[in-house]
Amino acid sequence: MLDIRDIRERPQEVLARLRRRDPGTDLARVLSLDEERRGLIRQVEALRRERKAGSEEVARLQREGHREEAQARISVLKTLSDRLKSLEERLSQVETELEEELLRLPNIPHDSVPTGTKEEKVLLRSWGEPRKFDFPPRHHVELAKRLGLLDFERAAKIAGARFPMYTGLGARIELALIHWMFELHVREHGYTPVLPPILANPTSFLVCGQLPKFADDLYFCPEDELYLNPTAESLLANLHRDEILTEEALPLRYVAYTPCFRREAGSYGEEQRGLIRVHQFNKVELFHFTTPDRSYQDLEELVGHAERVLQALGLHYRVMLLPSGDLAQQSAKTIDLEVWLPGQGRYYEVSSCSNCEAYQARRGNIRFRPAEGGKPEFVHTLNGSGVATSRLFAAILERNQRPDGSVALPPLLAELVGVEVLT
């Protein structure tokens, strides 16, 4: 959530920066509601003071035996109280409407984020080279079926289309990847491990930024008022909700494993095939709580931690800076890692690393007390995939395939599962 004081004090600047994301953004209603709210607060406070003084005056008159005067004053206070009640009801309504408007506003893009649409992302660097094949590379669906690693048909029988089911060595590889990535971030990068609930209440999703705007993308259990986790960011963002941390304790870095569930409405074509865009997938998520002065340094470190996974598996990837028009609601800056899938001849995002600055912390009232003293400040939160396994699994199969349809596993993965070649 944005700070209403910033909007009030610098409306044109905030509007110009938000319009880098969406040229149609308008702050007129926010500013109008804020002005009405402040006017109502002044009126309510004045009437409360008047009511208090009047009540004290009635008590004095009654003590002194001036009953008629006291009764007349009580009649005046009754009218005043009715007026006060009406203003308080309107104030409550305006505050609710203002909060709803603020919750709909996205984060302000960082100055380093280029203005543009999804197609205008910027290449920062790449690692490795696409493998050159002397045969037509197969799609991972064909490879997985041939090798008995995935069974989409039986998964569809159980749950419906676009739910994967890993079988045989496929299941072992999937679990090995999850465990290895989890341990990598704990042991090498110093993250605190967490296995959170995979269901969360509406407040948790409001804090992370999924609600209210993206309710239709979530799986919801209405009887219990709980949402299925679309990404562990939604859960980890709430670890320190309504807490005041010490600056000395920061940064706090957490790694979590969860299955993730997404409706993925609106995706189409090749992206619906195989593991590219599914309703359920596994992910190792990285999350930071840090101070504003070091959050962009932390973003670079976070990206590096995700890159370590792809490098260890020998996968060619590129690092892309997302433009303003492609940022998630809560993000001020996002850097994506995109891995090359030769079976499709294109890159797919496997990790998205974002600095949300104080956007989530303001929603969740997550603050820290500066070491030198002073008023508590909002922390900055960062998140990144470290990484999601579905596209990673697809990339491993497609990059390491051989002419006969077998797959030579990367040495690290071969050691984890005790098999060098999938045949």
First to last CA, the chain: 52
> How far, CA to CA in Å, does 179 sit from each of 50, 233, 257, 355?
66, 19, 9, 26
Please tell me which residue in 17, 362, 391, 399 is annotated as part of the active site: 391
Q: Which two tokens stand for residue 223?
A: 């009887």
Instruction: Specify whether 241 is catalytic.
Output: no
Q: Which of 262, 362, 363, 367 is catalytic?
A: 262
Look at the alpha carbons of 300, 303, 304, 305 in this order and tell me if their dihedral is positive or negative: positive
Q: Catalytic annotation on 126?
A: no
- Determine contact, residues 365/242, Cβ cutoff 8 Å: yes
User: Cα separation of 364 and 235, whole Å?
Assistant: 12
Beta 421-422 vs 407-408: how paired, if at all? antiparallel
Place of tokens 């490795």: 128
Give the amino acid at 11: P
CA dist list (Å): 217 to 33, 213, 262, 263: 29, 9, 6, 5
Active-site annotation holds for 172? no
75 as an active site residue: the answer is no
User: Tokens 């101070």 sit at which residue?
Assistant: 291
**Which one from 234, 295, 352, 390 is the annotated catalytic residue?**
352
Q: What angle do CA 363, 368, 374 make, to 5 degrees?
A: 120
**One-letter identity of residue 143:** L
Active site residue 391: yes
Which member of 36, 50, 57, 349 is catalytic?
349
Q: Which residues are catalytic?
A: 262, 277, 349, 352, 391
